[in-house]
Amino acid sequence: MTAPSDAVLDLPPFPAAGDLPGSLRWQAAACGDRAPLYRELLRSVAADVESGGPATTLLEPYTSDLVVGLRLMAALHRLVLDGALPDLAPFYPSAGGTERPEGAWPVVRQVLADRSDQVAALLPLPVQTNETGRAAVLYAGLLVLAHRTGLPIRLLEIGASAGLNLRADGFGYRTSAGVFGAAESALVLDEPWRGTPPVPLSTPVRVVERRGCDPAPLDPADPGHRRRLESLVWADQLDRLARLRAAFTVAEAVPAPVDRADDTVAWLADRLAETSAGTLTVVWHSVIAPYVDRETWGAVGALLADVGEGATGDAPLARLGFEGEADESGKVRMTARITLWPDGGTRLLGTARDHGMPFVWDGPHLRPGIA
């Protein structure tokens, strides 16, 4: 079974630091046919910067920011969803718009010129998409780990945003064989997996504790925070927006605290010091590596390896990560891997699109070791 085409991001090399137009065009390529509105807007913004247009001054503080394009798209989307840009709304599917994306740029350029203060006020907010489609990856890993250990799970997430995916066991997963997980959930992911799972999809997953951390956590019960999360969804992708809103309903019934933590490593060290017998501790992260400095990312790995050395069969530790991995050609594959201590072996769980679905099981790699 091969990975979905979007699991391999066939993108141009990322531009050099400080190349603002190049960064915007790279993000446009990443959006591609999945988000034609954003693709067209980002290309136009890049050209506007090169010609010294209104986007130039607005985006100058973010010249070296890897996600400047997503910041700008989220700011505009927020204003559209709030009803502040009625002339732009007809181009936004998320606001009921049906106009072709090619016509949006003149309106956006006028917004950047006339209402730059409103846009600028939203640009510093962090890009922290809480993509619920990635729950398909997390739940796949939890199935494998629950089958392997037979233990209840203590789930910790770094870079958790609003903690929606900490409720992955509270979502349903519909396949041709039925609905697994929480069948009556407000959020049911349709056909989230491809290939042959290495363990029964009916394997019981019992999460007894769930907690996350984030430098700027969001509260899914807060209307303003909900709107912020909605604005981070690409405006073309109504299915993602519907999943997000359904996840808000799940969050009302399933508590999952997310702590504010400027020091991710210290937070994780404190949580891992609380490990108890008879429980599997799972540390989960998804698509946060691009937002974390190299030193911190290395320290997270070193901490897990160090704590893992003291793990036992009665109190095991697992790392479950879904991140991009570049091959020799520079193409990035979105890959899920599991490391389970005390044995410490790392296995490929599978590959997926950057937003999580469909997830393709990599069964042959799992069966000899974890399953």
Distance between CA atoms of residues 350 and 306, nearest Å = 25
Distance between CA atoms of residues 157 and 15, nearest Å = 30
> Which H or E run includes 206?
none
pLDDT at 14: 76
pLDDT at 142: 98
Evaluate if pTM is beyond 0.85. yes
Q: Regarding predicted confidence, which is higher, 331 or 176?
A: 176
Does 331 score more than 80 pLDDT?
no
DSSP string, 230-259: HHHS-TT-HHHHHHHHHHHHHHHHS---EE
Residue range 16-42: mean pLDDT, rounded: 94
CA dihedral 77, 79, 81, 86 (to 10 degrees): -110
Percent of the chain with pLDDT over 70: 94
Give the mean pLDDT of the chain: 93
pLDDT at 363: 55
pLDDT at 8: 54
Residue range 188-202: mean pLDDT, rounded: 96
pLDDT at 10: 62
Residue 181, strand partner residues: 172
pLDDT at 366: 46
Residue range 265-284: mean pLDDT, rounded: 96
Does 114 score more than 80 pLDDT?
yes
Q: Determine the longest span between alpha carbons in the chain, in angstroms.
A: 63
pLDDT at 7: 55
pLDDT tier at 146, thresholds 50, 70, 90: very high
Q: Which of 314, 330, 325, 259 is nearest to 289 (CA)?
A: 325
pLDDT at 329: 72
Q: Which of 224, 221, 231, 206 is nearest to 164 (CA)?
A: 221
Phi, psi of 225 (to 5 degrees): -70, -35
Residue range 354-362: mean pLDDT, rounded: 92
Does 39 score more than 60 pLDDT?
yes
Percent of the chain with pLDDT over 90: 84
Does 3 score more than 80 pLDDT?
no
Residue range 331-345: mean pLDDT, rounded: 91
Sign, Cα dihedral of 353, 355, 359, 365: positive
What is the domain partition of the chain in residue ranges? 5-122, 132-366
Does 307 score more than 50 pLDDT?
yes
pLDDT tier at 369, thresholds 50, 70, 90: very low
Does 332 score more than 90 pLDDT?
no
Kindly state the tokens that stand for 217.
């956590």
CA angle centred on 196, ends 190 and 200, rounded to 5°: 80
Instruction: Judge contact between 289 and 297, C-beta under 8 A.
Output: yes
Lowest mean pLDDT among 7-11, 28-32, 208-212, 358-362: 7-11
pLDDT at 9: 59
